[in-house]
Homo-oligomer: A and B are copies of this chain.
Amino acid sequence: MDTTATVREQILDHAITLMMLHGYNGFSYRDLSELVGVKTSSIHYYFPSKEDLALEAVNEYSNQIFGLLRAVDASLPADVKLARYTKMFGRTLGDGNQICLCGMLAADIGSLPDNIRAAVQAFFKTNESWLAKVLAQGLKERTLVVNGKPESAARALFAAYQGSGLASRLFQTKTRLEEIEALWKVSK
């Protein structure tokens, strides 16, 4: 296994983390430069503008998450899939000081160009349609409680995850994430 990360990859990874911590307007090329150990001008070599960097960060982040979604075994019952999703979302919160990159950029969207908006929208839509399928399955299996249409409920559910990410960090507790999942479980 090759553990060598190129400079470009390091920049992208640190950019993702920094934005999850402080948002688009809350990190600088200088911060990155210190983390990666190259000068800011070298970062401009790979990513001419900060917006270029942010766009590629969203794409890289999205691909990582989409890979995790695909890795969820299709044959599992819906309530178990939802539990996996909750766990995955919890992992993106890291030590409790970061939130989902695309949730963060949705907050910063007023400062961002259209191509980044489109990329963030795509992230939302993919998550929502994955969740919609799980809810539809849970409805059929009777393993999940779904009030209304799966597509509409999935959008509300994803919003709840994003909002809970905010609250989890604000209050420094992950219990708020688990409360989301509980709402859709069939009461015992």
Interface assignment of A6: CB less than 8 Å from any CB of chain B:
no
Binding-face segment, A51-59, A60-68, A99-107: A99-107
Contact A182 B152 (CB under 8 A): yes
CB distance from A55 to the nearest CB of B (A): 15
Cross-chain contact B166 with A162 (CB below 8 angstroms): yes
Contacts of A156 in B (CB 8 A): 160, 164, 176, 179-180, 182-183
Question: Which residues of B sit under 8 angstroms from A99, Cβ to Cβ?
Answer: 107
B-side contacts of A185, CB under 8 Å: 147
Contact B124 A167 (CB under 8 A): yes
B164–A110 CB distance below 8 A? no
Interface residues of A (CB under 8 A from B): 21-23, 25-26, 97-99, 103-104, 106-111, 117, 120-121, 124, 145, 147-148, 152-153, 155-164, 166-167, 169-171, 176, 179-180, 182-185, 187
